[in-house]
């Protein structure tokens, strides 16, 4: 298939590009490099430096490359930052995708797999989270993605040829087990890479954001899913999508780990007893989020193969150790 991967120079997108190429697809990457890296995109993919807001460039790219499916990873992705910069988040993650969808309509491209998130569920009353759990985001990041889900539904309702899948990711972790690409964000805010930065001396210490949550050890619980498994699900979704379909699936392992448990896993894998201090709660963080991933298993046969946190941490650590300066471009 001819696939446009928006946000393909980022952490998850670059893993998708690698896999799509390995499967024999023709891949075009569009990324504005706000938080992505040119070096994360393999030479076999066509790279277009461009923005979700650039309607003309997207229409041209879709037409020039006879694109059949778009996989959209492009977004701003930090919960805490979204609380401080709500307008930026709605502009990029909601208005930007609206422009992408308008460009797809103009070019006659009717298939999209769009990254959604567990953050669309807000603070659910019950765990685990199923796809029917009511969505009530509690931060602008989650709301910016929830709004796109509604826009996609309306688009599909108006056009029987249009089809979309919205995988709702829980917390994505790990990286290519062969160490070819990794996770390099500036600033880095995700728990596992932050802890790895502390373990490798890139930061003096790490903080646990809140120990007074209503959870067994008082720290937040999340469902960490390996990026390689996550991308497997995208390939399945892209290949399964039929005109008119509107697919929503949770992508997680179905098990929650607390911040303290992740700290212990990182200390064990690295063998470094780095300093961890207790900090205040971070605005916008729900206490507990973990998936019921049954629906996608029953309907498409996907389930996470890697469920061991230490394996996820070890894969992330491998790239970190080999690339102390990340991609070296920022």
Ligand X SMILES: O=c1ccn([C@@H]2O[C@H](COP(=O)(O)OP(=O)(O)O[C@H]3O[C@H](CO)[C@@H](O)[C@H](O)[C@H]3O)[C@@H](O)[C@H]2O)c(=O)[nH]1
Ligand Y SMILES: NC(=O)c1ccc[n+]([C@@H]2O[C@H](COP(=O)([O-])OP(=O)(O)OC[C@H]3O[C@@H](n4cnc5c(N)ncnc54)[C@H](O)[C@@H]3O)[C@@H](O)[C@H]2O)c1
- Binding footprint of ligand X on the chain (CB under 6 A): 77-79, 117-119, 169-171, 189-191, 194, 206-209, 220, 222, 259, 282, 285, 289
Grouping H, G, I as helix, E, B as strand and the rest as coil, residue 44 is: coil
List the single partner that 220 binds among ligand Y, ligand X, none, CB under 5 to 8 Å by kind.
Answer: ligand X
The residue from 89, 90, 141, 224 that is catalytic is 141
| Residue number with CB closer to ligand Y (115 or 135) | 115
Shortest Cβ 263–ligand X spacing (Å): 8
Which phi and psi angles does 26 have, rounded to 5°? -95, 125
Shortest Cβ 35–ligand Y spacing (Å): 4
Shortest Cβ 22–ligand X spacing (Å): 25
List the single partner that 96 binds among ligand Y, ligand X, none, CB under 5 to 8 Å by kind.
Answer: ligand Y
Q: Are 231 and 202 in contact (CB under 8 A)?
A: no
Binding stretches for ligand Y (CB under 6 A): 6-7, 9-13, 31-36, 51-52, 73-75, 77, 92, 96, 115, 117, 169, 171-172, 185
| CA-wise closest residue to 40 among 175, 235, 172, 234 | 175
CA 328, CA 330: separation in Å to the nearest integer? 6
CA 65, CA 46: separation in Å to the nearest integer? 10
Shortest Cβ 283–ligand X spacing (Å): 10
Query: Has 11 been annotated as catalytic?
Result: no
Q: Are 182 and 21 in contact (CB under 8 A)?
A: no
Q: Which residue is nearest to ligand X (CB)?
A: 220
Which phi and psi angles does 93 have, rounded to 5°? -85, -25
| Residue number with CB closer to ligand X (119 or 237) | 119
List the single partner that 199 binds among ligand Y, ligand X, none, CB under 5 to 8 Å by kind.
Answer: none
| For residue 221, cis peptide bond before it (omega within 30 degrees of 0) | no
List the single partner that 73 binds among ligand X, ligand Y, none, CB under 5 to 8 Å by kind.
Answer: ligand Y
Q: Helices in the chain by DSSP H: which ranges?
A: 11-22, 55-64, 79-84, 86-89, 96-107, 140-158, 191-199, 227-240, 259-270, 294-300, 309-322
Catalytic residues: 141
């Amino acid at each position: 298939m001819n696939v446009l991967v928006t946000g393909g120079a980022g952490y998850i997108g670059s893993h998708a590009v690698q896999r799509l190429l390995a499967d024999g697809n023709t891949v075009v990457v569009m990324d504005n490099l706000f938080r992505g890296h040119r070096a994360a995109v393999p030479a076999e993919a066509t790279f277009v430096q461009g923005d979700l807001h650039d309607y003309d460039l997207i229409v041209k790219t879709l037409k020039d490359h006879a694109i059949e499916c778009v996989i959209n990873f492009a977004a701003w992705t930090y919960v805490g930052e979204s609380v401080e910069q709500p307008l930026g988040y709605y502009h990029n993650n909601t208005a930007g995708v609206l422009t992408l969808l308008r460009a797809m309509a103009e070019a006659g491209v009717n298939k999209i797999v769009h990254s959604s998130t567990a953050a669309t569920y807000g603070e659910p009353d019950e765990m685990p989270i199923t796809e029917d759990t009511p969505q009530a985001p509690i931060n602008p990041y989650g709301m910016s993605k929830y709004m796109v889900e509604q826009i996609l539904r309306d688009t599909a309702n108006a056009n029987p040829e249009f089809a979309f899948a919205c995988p709702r990711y829980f917390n994505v972790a790990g990286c290519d087990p062969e160490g070819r690409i990794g996770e390099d964000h500036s600033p880095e805010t995700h728990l596992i890479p932050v802890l790895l930065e502390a373990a490798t001396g890139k930061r003096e210490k790490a903080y646990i954001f809140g120990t007074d949550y209503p959870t067994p050890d008082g720290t937040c619980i999340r469902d960490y899913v390996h990026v390689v498994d996550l991308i497997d699900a995208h390939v399945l979704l892209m290949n399964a999508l039929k005109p008119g379909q509107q697919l929503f699936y949770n992508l997680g392992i179905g098990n929650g780990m607390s911040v303290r448990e992740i700290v212990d896993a990182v200390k064990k894998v690295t063998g470094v007893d780095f300093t961890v201090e207790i900090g205040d709660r971070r605005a916008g963080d729900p206490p507990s989020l973990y998936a019921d991933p049954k629906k996608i298993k029953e309907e498409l046969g996907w389930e996470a193969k890697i469920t061991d946190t230490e394996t996820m941490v070890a894969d992330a650590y491998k790239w970190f150790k080999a690339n102390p300066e990340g991609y070296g471009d920022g």
